[in-house]
Amino acid sequence: MRTVGITGALGLGLALAGCSGAAEPAASGPAEVTFWGWAPGYADAVDAFNASQDDVVVTYEEVAPGAKGGYDKMLNAVTAGNAPCLAQVGYETLTSFAAQGALEDVSEFANANEDEFTPATWSAVSIGDGVYGAPVDQGPMALFYNKAVFDELGIAVPTTWAEYQAAGEKLKAAGKSLSASYLNYDYAGFDWQAEAPWFSVDGDSWKVSIDSPEGQKVADYWQGLTDAGLISQAPMWDQSWYTGLGDGSIATHVGAVWIAGVLKGSAPDGAGKWAVAPMPQWEAGDDKVGNVGGSATAVLKGCDNPEAAWAFAHAMSTDPDIYTGLIEAAALYPAATELLDLPALGEPDPYFGDQVIFDVFAEASPLVTTGWTWGPNMPETVGFLDDGLGKAWSGKSTFADALTSTQQQTVDALEAQGLSVAE
């Protein structure tokens, strides 16, 4: 879903004079395109593309992951006029890049391929009437649960959030708990499912709705689980969290498809015990799913050959052979709908008791709710949110307070940047 008027709200008129790009085609011979990224398997994907045709030669350069310096390097290069044509940019950050005038519109070449991608991922790379990159992967959410623990305690797999809470009560009685301490984009997935977007556009202004009634409903739910002592005190990504997932003391996690790789890599003691089920719903019979993560091959401002850039970006996201390598190297889950039945996604997984877990995500993918828009400065917004949520998870504040404070701080920050914010 594209949002009319968002171009004006982003302030895309920021001057970036002198951006000549780094993808000048040679006077004769193939077009040359440079691509910056960090994901495992990307270098091999570039090699496979180069070997498959003679029209475009892509040079891959590895940079630090976005939040660890890669994004700053990209933005600095755009400002200096020596940016590559292509860069790996997370969906949550793409709008921030657009707000800084750092992206090139390739809709002229890309629009014909829109139907090849899931609606949610195409929406993530589309701003107004512009398209600024190719969706690569997606992060539909599901319920990861320790089947051995659930079977031992006679707990039915929850299909609703009320049933998830009831499962937590039985786990607590047995000295076990639900996973929690969700922050930033992990927490956003719950609001995404509840159709509680944090941002939207009103004319040429941003509208911030982080503390909306729908968002407060999600906050109240997690507040109830926290107050009842049903959740683990082990913070996500802490070694104590990995240990709990491995030994069964933490028996659930609601998260994106890529959590499967986290479990296998960091909680090896859980091998053969875990399983995957659909994400719990707010009402029985609903079919709404949130999303966490995913990235685009974005075209940076000043690219001298956007058509060649799109040719590679599109191929990396849709070619079955190239993408199989990305699944094997980085456990990426395709944004392209025709790749959702790739053989690599149909293999039984011993860690999950030989369950074909990607069948769950194939069903979840088209259920990811549309209409989610990331704000123009997400690193700042999630910094505010993480501060509030961290206090809420530890019982030092409330989730409602976290939303209220993040709402006000975000509005103040956007206005300080000169962006129009609607009431």
Q: Judge whether 388 and 405 are in contact, CB under 8 Å.
A: yes
In this structure, the number of other CB atoms found within 10 A of the CB of residue 416 comes to 8
Distance CA 40, CA 323 (A): 12
Q: Residue 330's pLDDT is what?
A: 85
Q: Residue 13's pLDDT is what?
A: 33
Long-range CB pairs of 239-248, under 8 A, 24+ apart, other chains included: 241/179, 241/181, 242/266, 242/267, 243/267, 244/177, 244/179, 245/179, 245/270, 246/270, 248/146, 248/148, 248/149, 248/176, 248/273
Which two tokens mark 144? 């990861």
Q: Residue 27's pLDDT is what?
A: 54
Q: Judge whether 201 and 377 are in contact, CB under 8 Å.
A: no
Q: What pairing do the DSSP bridges indicate for beta strands 274-278 and 141-146?
A: antiparallel
Q: Which of 336, 349, 241, 352 is nearest to 294 (CA)?
A: 336
- Direct distance between the N- and C-terminal alpha carbons of the chain, in angstroms, rounded to an integer: 23
Q: Residue 26's pLDDT is what?
A: 45
89 beta partners: 296
Query: Mind listing the domains of the chain with CATH numbers?
Result: 6-138+294-345 (3.40.190.10), 141-291+372-416 (3.40.190.10)
Distance CA 215, CA 198 (A): 8
**Tens-of-pLDDT digits for all 423 residues of the chain?**
333 334 555 543 333 333 334 444 445 789 999 999 999 999 999 999 999 999 999 999 999 999 899 999 999 999 999 999 999 999 999 999 998 999 999 999 999 999 999 998 999 999 889 999 999 999 999 999 999 999 999 999 999 999 999 999 999 999 999 998 999 999 999 999 999 999 998 888 999 999 999 999 999 999 999 999 999 999 999 999 999 999 999 999 999 999 998 999 999 999 999 999 999 999 999 999 999 999 999 999 999 999 999 999 999 999 999 999 999 888 899 999 999 999 999 999 999 999 999 999 999 999 999 889 899 999 899 999 999 999 999 999 999 999 999 999 999 999 999 999 997
- Sheet with 274-278, side-by-side order of all strands: 252-256, 141-146, 274-278
> For residue 112, which amino acid is it?
A
Q: Which of 317, 316, 327, 278 is nearest to 122 (CA)?
A: 317
346-361 pLDDT, tens digit each: 999 999 999 999 999 9
278-307 pLDDT, tens digit each: 999 999 999 999 999 999 999 999 999 999
Q: Residue 10's pLDDT is what?
A: 55
Distance CA 52, CA 238 (A): 43
